[in-house]
Amino acid sequence: MEKRRVVVTGLGAISCLGNDVETNWHKAANGISGIDYFTKFDISDLRVRFGGEVRDFDPKEVFGHREARRMDPISRFAMEAARQAMTDSGLEVTDSNRYDVGALVGCGMGGLQTLLENMETMNAKGPAQVSPLAVPMLIPDAPSGKISIYYGLRGPSMCIATACATGNNAIGEATEIIRRGAAKAMLAGSTEAAVERLSIASFDNMQALSRRNDDPQTASRPFDRDRDGFVMAEGAAVLVLEELEHARARGAKIYCEIAGYGSTSDAYHITAPLETGESAAECMRKALHNAGIEPAEVSYLNAHGTSTPLNDLGETNAIKAVFGECAYGLPISSTKSVTGHMLGAASAIEAVLCIKAIEQGFIPPTATLQNPDLPDCDLDYVPGVGRKASLDVVMSNSFGFGGHNAVIVFRKHSEDGRA
C-alpha cells in the first residue's frame, strides 16, 4: 500500500526574533540576532546574563486576562503559534471532522515558571496557598491539551518530550499518525519557556552556556573556533500538517511536503553526544531512506549547530559520514546563531525557517561564523550572509540531551511526489 503523502498548509512562530512567521524569517534570513540581556529577572548574581527572550508579547491582549493567568508561558507561546498556523492554513474544525484533526505539541521542560512560582509561594506562605491550577498549568502536555480544547480537536492529542529533539520528533510522529490514517490533519510543533534563573544556573554550572556577556548578539557561534557554549532561548512554533488529498479537497495552500523522518538514540551519555556522530548519521540515513531521497539530492541542511564544542564537531562528522564528498558542496547553516537555543522548541522554529527557505529560495546564514574551527569543522556553513538558491530538498537535524536524535526531510511540493 502506498503511504499517504503529508503536506504543510499552515505556519506559526514566536521567538526572540519576533512574534510572527514573517518577522522570524526576515531576521533569520538577514542574520539579525534576537539575543540580548535578560529583562525578566535579577541577573546581578548570574554569570550568564543574556539569552533569547520573547519580547513585546502580551498574552492578556490575545487570550484575555483570566485565560492568560491560567496558562504557563509554555501554553501561551504554543497557543499563539497554533493560532497563527490555523489562520494561515484556513483549516476549519467542525462537528463532522473534529475526530480527524489532532494536536501533537511537544515541550522539553514543562511549565518551569509555574513550578518555581508555586514553590516560592509554598515556602513563604504554606501549602494552603499553592494554586489548584499549578499542576495542570505545568505539565508538559498542557499546550497540546489547551490547543485541542480551544479548537475542539478530538483526534490524537499528545506530547513528546525528547529535550532538544522534541520539535522534530513531534512533527515526525504527527506525520506518521496521518500516514497510517489515524488523522487527516495535525497541529504539530513544540514550545519552551525555560528562560529562568534556575535553568540558567544549572546549564551554566554544567559549563554548557556561553558566558560572552560583553557581546550577547554574537555569543552563539556555531562551528566557530571561538564558540564557548549555547545561548538559552524560548518560544514556540506550530505547523498544520494535512494528508495531501484532504488539503487538495479544500483548496489549501501547500508550502511543502514532509518527505522523510528518522529517529535514533546515542545510548551513550545523558548530556554529551557521541563525538563520532555515529547515531546522528544513522538518523539522517533513516530520514533519507524514509523519504526515498539520495544524499546528493539534498539542497540545504539546517544543522542542530548549538555552538558547543562537542555538538558541532560530532554533527560535522555525522554529515561527512552520510554525504561523503557531497558534504563539501552542501550548504549547511545554523539559525541558532540568531535565535539562540530554544531547547524543546528549537527544531520546530527551525522547521518553519526551512519551509520558508524552500518557499523563498534563500538559505539563511550562520550569521556569527567568522573563524571556522579548522580542520575539524571545514564544511560550507554559509557564514555571515545568506544566499539565493533553488531548494528542492531540505534536511533539518535536531539532537537532544539523553542522546535523542530526530531528523526531518522537507521536499518542495509537486503533484507527482518528486521535487
Q: Residue 171: give its domain's CATH number.
A: 3.40.47.10
Q: pLDDT at position 114, please?
A: 98
Angle in degrees, CA 202, 365, 403, rounded to 5: 40
Residues in the chain: 419
Overall number of domains in the chain: 2
Neighbours of 44 (CB within 10 A): 5
Domain that holds residue 333: 260-411
Q: pLDDT at position 418, please?
A: 47
Across the range 310-332, mean pLDDT stands at: 96
How far is it, in rounded angstroms, from Cα 72 to Cα 86? 21
Question: Are residue 232 and residue 366 in the same domain, yes or no?
Answer: no
Q: How would residue 377 be classed by pLDDT, with cut points 50, 70 and 90?
A: very high
* Residue 278 predicted with pLDDT over 90: yes
Q: How would residue 343 be classed by pLDDT, with cut points 50, 70 and 90?
A: very high
Estimate to the nearest angstrom the gap between the alpha carbon of 236 and the chain centroid. Answer: 7
Q: Pick from 191, 222, 249: which residue ends a domain?
A: 249
Question: Are residue 276 and residue 390 in the same domain, yes or no?
Answer: yes
Q: Pick from 222, 249, 276: which residue ends a domain?
A: 249
Q: How would residue 419 be classed by pLDDT, with cut points 50, 70 and 90?
A: very low
Q: Pick from 194, 214, 249: which residue ends a domain?
A: 249
Q: pLDDT at position 275, please?
A: 78
Q: How would residue 267 be classed by pLDDT, with cut points 50, 70 and 90?
A: confident
Question: Are residue 86 and residue 232 in the same domain, yes or no?
Answer: yes
Question: Are residue 34 and residue 91 in the same domain, yes or no?
Answer: yes
Q: pLDDT at position 1, please?
A: 58
The pLDDT tens digits of the residues spanning 174-215 come to 999 999 999 999 999 999 999 999 999 999 999 999 999 999
Neighbours of 95 (CB within 10 A): 8
Determine what percent of the chain is predicted with pLDDT higher than 90. Answer: 95
How far is it, in rounded angstroms, from Cα 394 to Cα 354? 7
- The catalytic site residues sit at 164, 304, 341
Question: Are residue 244 and residue 267 in the same domain, yes or no?
Answer: no
Q: Is residue 418 part of a domain?
A: no
How far is it, in rounded angstroms, from Cα 80 to Cα 400? 25
Question: Are residue 371 and residue 313 in the same domain, yes or no?
Answer: yes
How far is it, in rounded angstroms, from Cα 371 to Cα 132? 52
Question: Are residue 237 and residue 267 in the same domain, yes or no?
Answer: no
Q: Is residue 369 part of a domain?
A: yes
Q: Is residue 374 part of a domain?
A: yes
